[in-house]
Amino acid sequence: MRVSFRLNGSVVEVDVEPHETLLNVLRDRLKIKSVKYGCGIGECGACTVILDGRPVTSCLVLAAKVGGSEVLTPDYVARTELGRRIVDAMLEEGAIQCGYCTPGFLTTIYAAIIRGVRDADSMRRALLGNLCRCTGYVNIMKAVKRLLEDVR
Chain positions contacting another protein, by CB under 8 A: 1, 17-21, 23-24, 37, 39-42, 45, 48, 51, 54-57, 59-62, 64-65, 67, 108, 112, 125-130
Q: How far is the CB of 129 from another protein (least distance, A)?
A: 2
Q: How far is residue 15's CA from residue 78's CA, in Å, rounded to a whole number?
A: 27
Measured from the CB atom, is 88 or 100 closer to another protein?
A: 100
Q: How far is residue 46's CA from residue 36's CA, in Å, rounded to a whole number?
A: 5
* Burial label, 82 (beta-carbon count in 10 A; 0-12, 13-18, 19+): middle
Measured from the CB atom, is 29 or 88 closer to another protein?
A: 29
Q: How far is the CB of 69 from another protein (least distance, A)?
A: 11
Q: How far is the CB of 19 from another protein (least distance, A)?
A: 4
